[in-house]
Amino acid sequence: MKHPGPDQTTPFWSGGTIYDALDLSDLYFHTLNLRRFPYSAIASQYLATYMLTNQPDIILFQEISDKLPFAYAMQVINSFCGDFLYRWWFSPNRVYRSYNVICWKTSLASNIPTSQLDSVFYFDPPYVLRPPVLSDFYIGSDFIRLINVHGAPYGTSFETEKKAKFFSRLSDYITAINSHYGVLIFGDFNVNFSGIDSYFASNVSKIPFDIAYNGIDYCLSSSLFGTLIPDLSLEQKYLQKDIEDSGLYPDWSTDFSDHYPVRLSVVTL
């Protein structure tokens, strides 16, 4: 598949095993804002329960405040995983008290090369923004780039300007790579699902949810994703009801996160 040019518009790995899903029928991505992890003394316990119960293939986290408790929690999780382990990668810069993180099963890929998008550009004053994180892999022969975002927050008029700048830069980047390979954009957008269209120049598409949803955590695809990779079906599910019905999390919103996860199911047709 054609690649569009230099720097962060082309694959940036140097060797390593890239995920090949041709022998699988389903692949599950999750995204979750961890609310300045660890928000409470038992946040690690909640994280372990969630990871071991759901066993996401790839999960994209936002808002980790402290690397060490997160890394320790993941090591504990790995001690219970059995036939697979998780690897993880922190964004290199801690912006607004937090990092973005991607975790993946080593049974799927020994390495998912990851980088941060144009960090110097995103740190340009006065709009210091959280740079999106990029991760690359293949499904079969199709190259896919994941983008993990944590959008500018709600609030003041200055924050509204920051939000517009954040999405303008992200939209420009997606336009640059849209016609070359599949792009999935995950995260906490801090924009309701119904209103995200206004920030993109028709270069992204909304992935349907199983039921009506208008939260701020979700996944988008590049507008040509289905054309470039027609053998995949995508569907999202908001997991708040699953979390609450499970009985495994006595007080999720107080002890762990003020967000609930979203799962993207990728089905090979």
Q: DSSP labels for the chain?
A: -----SGGGS----SSPPP--TT-SEEEEEEEEEEEE--STTHHHHHHHHHHHH--SEEEEEEE--HHHHHHHHHHHHHT-SS--EEEEE-SS-BTTBEEEEEEETTT-S---EEES-HHHHT-TT------EEEEEEETTEEEEEEEEEPPPSSSHHHHHHHHHHHHHHHHHHHHHTTTSEEEEEEE-SS-GGGGGGGSSS-EEEPPBSS----SEEEEEETTHHHHSTTEEEEEEE-HHHHHHHS--TTHHHHT-SS--EEEEEEE-
Identify the residue with better confidence: 158 or 175. Answer: 175
Tell me, yes or no, whether 1 lies in a domain: no
Q: What is the pLDDT of residue 57?
A: 93
Model confidence at 159: pLDDT above 50? yes
Residue 233 lies in a domain: yes
Mean pLDDT of the chain: 87
pLDDT per residue as tens digits for the range 95-115: 888 999 999 998 887 788 888
Q: Provide the pLDDT for residue 96.
A: 80
Q: For 209-213, 225-229, 241-245, which range has the lowest pLDDT when averaged over its residues?
A: 225-229
Look at residue 9 in the predicted model and tell me its pLDDT: 62
Rounded to an integer, the average pLDDT of 22-46 is 88
Q: Is residue 266 part of a domain?
A: no
Q: What local confidence, expressed as pLDDT, does residue 253 receive? A: 96
In a domain? residue 96: yes
Please report whether residue 121 resides in a domain: yes
pTM of the predicted model as reported, rounded to 2 decimal places: 0.91
Between 46 and 3, residue with greater pLDDT: 46
Flag whether 8 is in a domain: no
Within a domain: residue 12? Answer: no
Domain contains 82: yes
CATH number, position 149: 3.60.10.10
User: Range of 56's domain?
Assistant: 27-252
Domains: count for the chain = 1
**pLDDT tens digits, residue range 140-155?**
677 889 999 999 877 7
